[in-house]
Structure 1
């Protein structure tokens, strides 16, 4: 189905292999209780999840800093819940979230099985916009770090997906032509359109139940990769 033979596979990490929403919810369950923030977790997440997505989009577009993202996503959530939480507490929660997030290691179903199938046949790599200090911990904690030859992070690259340079840097590190590589990720803008802009082939992991599109092939479960590659 691909125009050129594939030798290298680049994966996104959060929302593609590593179950960000599940691990994030478990982290908040821990840190909200430990800091005596009296809020129902489901109510909190109902506001936090879309606000977090909004701020990550702003972060990708360089419209907010990492520090603003970490503070504002919590501040906006508490404001939406009409909870008066001090800046000091928000700062403690923001730090605790980063500290504990990588201690939870739930992966999407069939992640390990899929990587075990692919690794003898292809060179596997990661391209991620996540914070540098936490992404390697996630990979090691989930016991999948060893599958990947290169892990390219937006903080290392100095730009975030979908900027072309982060993909170009990853291709350079892997010593592969874009036509012989494929990007697999959940985000149409950051992963799919970003990768296509430099000539990578793409496969969309539909983690968010998005509507059909004609940008590239879409899968709903990672195990489907075995019938494609």
Structure 2
């Protein structure tokens, strides 16, 4: 029986695409159509996730955020035959992307969801990133109304980052629950679903980018593709608890 639901933050509880689009338009000024921008964003996101996994799995290849962004942009610019990418514009994009992320909002309906879930389950957050950056996002999203600092583990706290399953076992200890009593909701197959499943958790994959399942041995328990589907699934879970 699930007793705790734990969430990723970035691209799971809010949409990072507006920040991406704003930064992309500002730096590259390519007059991209909305349809093409959707494809560019999805490709960039998938390449970013793959680069993160490669960086974490190869002890000789540790990439910085800037290097991961450049790799992801390079693949995307090549795929869509775009012009204007240099080390300088890639660095400017990373800075603009971070700056644009200051204006973020929870997906519609999640306030009601969290008000309901908090009466039924223990709630937590596991997120990669520094305390300064991630806790600032949590405050901007007003998540502190439902998640105390004790319910949050950042990769800085854990001295390890997803996809290391260690962070998930740390949350088990924090909540004094077994893995099969925990559920994780995340947007990255490699960083969220794989390590949570390895830790014995149930998983919900918020797969808004329609990414493929890379390992047929590791299947998410539930998959949703829109904020509405995520909201409905979580409310259904709450309704099942007396």
Q: Find the counterpart in structure 1 of residue 169 from structure 2.
A: 168
Q: 1:38 aligns with which of 5, 11, 29?
A: 29
User: What TM-score does the superposition give when structure 2 sets the normalisation length?
Assistant: 0.74
Deviation at 1:130, TM superposition (A): 4.8
Task: Work out which of the residue numbers 6, 10, 14 in structure 1 matches 2:6.
Answer: 10
- Could you list the runs of 5+ residues in structure 1 that have no partner in the other structure? none
Shift of 1:228: 1.6
The residue aligned with 2:48 is 55
- 1:56-82 CA deviation, whole Å, 9 max, x = no partner? 222134253323113333344445544
Number of residues paired by the alignment?
Answer: 219
CA contact (8 A) 2:19 2:97 kept: no
Task: Quote how far apart the aligned CAs of 1:51 are.
Answer: 2.8
Shift in Å at residue 165 of structure 1?
0.7
Q: What is the match of residue 187 of structure 1?
A: 188
Verify: 1:104 aligned to 2:113, yes or no. Answer: no
Residue 19 of structure 1 pairs with residue 28 of structure 2: no
Q: Specify the alignment match of 1:93 in structure 2.
A: 93
Q: 1:130, 1:40 → 2: CA distance?
A: 32
CA distance in 2, matches of 1:28, 1:169: 37
Pair 1:47–1:186, CA change in 2 (3 A): closer
**TM-score (norm. length: structure 1):** 0.78
Distance 2:37 2:236 in 1: 39
Matches within 5 A, 1:211-222: 215-219=220-224, 220-222=229-231
The change in CA–CA distance for 1:175 and 1:23 in structure 2 (over 3 A counts) is farther
Q: Which runs of 5+ in 2 are unaligned?
A: none
- Partner residue in 1 for 2:114: 115
Runs of 4+ displaced beyond 6 Å: 210-214
**Cα distance in 2 between the residues matched to 1:210 and 1:18:** 18
Aligned-partner Cα distance in 1 for 2:21–2:130: 18
Residue correspondence of structure 1 range 59-78 to structure 2 within 5 A = 59-61=52-54, 62=56, 63=61, 64-78=63-77
CA contact (8 A) 1:123 1:148 kept: no
